[in-house]
Structure 1
């Protein structure tokens, strides 16, 4: 197989009609960070900056066909998994990916949207824990997701986050990035990266904006892209968080909806005046 300078990465997730999260956010982050993005759509959602008004799951056989179509032809260097949505979809994705065990898997256990809509039924949590998470190189839960995964109360302090890490490792993933953005009363957002023995803390200044739709999708897809570029996990997480902070800081340059708007995924690439180049 030929070796290419630009890595190929795959996202398996739901489609966000508002463009701020899911497949759309993943592909934007992939492009901004210099990798080629392929996609497998697990569900089509009708959503905007306020709410998710409809979810239409893609048929299982079509999801499996998408995965095989990509992976039998394109040399994929890393895979990000986001919204799966149901037990059937989880089983379909797990079975399809079992044929490609050597590709690193980053799993963002999407359960609740920014607007508060449930994206993963509770009866699917057990299937996710049994069939997807043990296969993961990295999982990236936020605090509500982490609490739901292990059946404990949501941490309210950084010490509580540390205490939750061993339970998360029992789910089988090789590494855990526990995101602390939901903690209150701190000027910094703190994330904890653990391999089960050592913990690395990452701090980032909180940015005053309501336009944070898609932050979880973007962080996990950015890490996936950087892992595909052969960065160490520590370097990938560190650089992904810098990219995320830049995208959040520039989010108010966009004018997308009146609720929780999207990040500016191309903030460092686009001119702020949005000049149009003539071809």
Structure 2
């Protein structure tokens, strides 16, 4: 067969039985953006669209075995790291990423608020994973936890980039009356802002919102975009997915990552 092969994204995240977040969100986003998703499950969750009820961490040895098997078989073009429940997971993923330094890594720090974690997980991520990260996705609360010694948002971002992290996308860093401002910090370019106008639900009212945005960044990196290009394109994709969110259960809305399949015209109010 001579059919073109889509770029492969390797995602490490929990299994969400609702199909709304975790590896399900990553898979849907990757497929929507023309990538092939390969998934490593880091935890098994018991939840509905309203709340997480319980979570069981996958044994670290099995996480390693899953990731190694995929990386040795497929030409992975980008890696997205989502929620990790164990410090041992960070240690294992660190050792794996060290063996594949050319593959861009997207680390979704926002995912760490979605589950049940062991003490020390944030410190382990800063020490072990940030130095190997091409793009960190977080919000202001996440940065406060990861870099409490910084007295401003700019200072926190600069401290984290000093670890080796190349860029940081901060969601909801500034609000105006009708818009939410996201910001991109880079080691090589001035900070850049993206304005989300009114017309779509706030990310905190959605299940799988952060996974949608970070996975979209990974997808565009897998297609060969620069970090700046990938973030801009991912912002546009996520805005459309949020604006066309659907209610599949009795809890939170879910981003429609296949919004482009709708017959109706989709709203366009994203600005950069």
State TM-score, norm by structure 2.
0.88
User: Pick from 211, 217, 220: which aligns with 2:214?
Assistant: 220
1:42 and 1:83 in contact (8 A); partners too: yes
Give the Cα separation in 2 of the matches to 1:136 and 1:3: 32
Give the Cα separation in 2 of the matches to 1:87 and 1:151: 20
Deviations 1:197-227 (A, max 9, x none): 5211111114453752111111110011011
1:83 and 1:119 in contact (8 A); partners too: no
Match of 2:178 in 1: 187
Deviations 1:209-254 (A, max 9, x none): 3752111111110011011111122221111111111111111xx3
SS of 2:11's partner is: strand
SS of 1:140's partner is: strand
Match of 1:165 in 2: 157
* Moved >3 Å (runs of 4+): 2-5, 118-122, 160-164, 183-186, 206-211
Which deviates further from its counterpart, 225-234 or 167-176? 167-176
Query: Shift of residue 152 of structure 1?
Result: 5.3
Aligned residues: 259
Give the Cα separation in 1 of the matches to 2:247 and 2:208: 15
SS of 2:259's partner is: coil
Match of 1:129 in 2: 126
User: Pick from 252, 256, 259: which aligns with 1:267?
Assistant: 259
What stretches of structure 2 of length at least 5 have no aligned partner?
Answer: 265-272
Deviations 1:53-101 (A, max 9, x none): 0101111111000001100010001110001111111112212222222
Match of 1:112 in 2: 113
1:161 and 1:178 in contact (8 A); partners too: no
1:137 and 1:174 in contact (8 A); partners too: yes
SS of 2:112's partner is: coil
1:20 and 1:261 in contact (8 A); partners too: no
Give the Cα separation in 2 of the matches to 1:56 and 1:256: 24
Give the Cα separation in 2 of the matches to 1:259 and 1:185: 27
Return closer, same or farther for 1:208/1:102 CA change in 2, 3 Å cut-off.
closer
Give the Cα separation in 2 of the matches to 1:95 and 1:242: 34
Give the Cα separation in 2 of the matches to 1:27 and 1:91: 25
State TM-score, norm by structure 1.
0.86
Give the Cα separation in 1 of the matches to 2:149 and 2:75: 39
Deviations 1:16-53 (A, max 9, x none): 11211110000000000011111101001111221110
2:11 and 2:38 in contact (8 A); partners too: yes
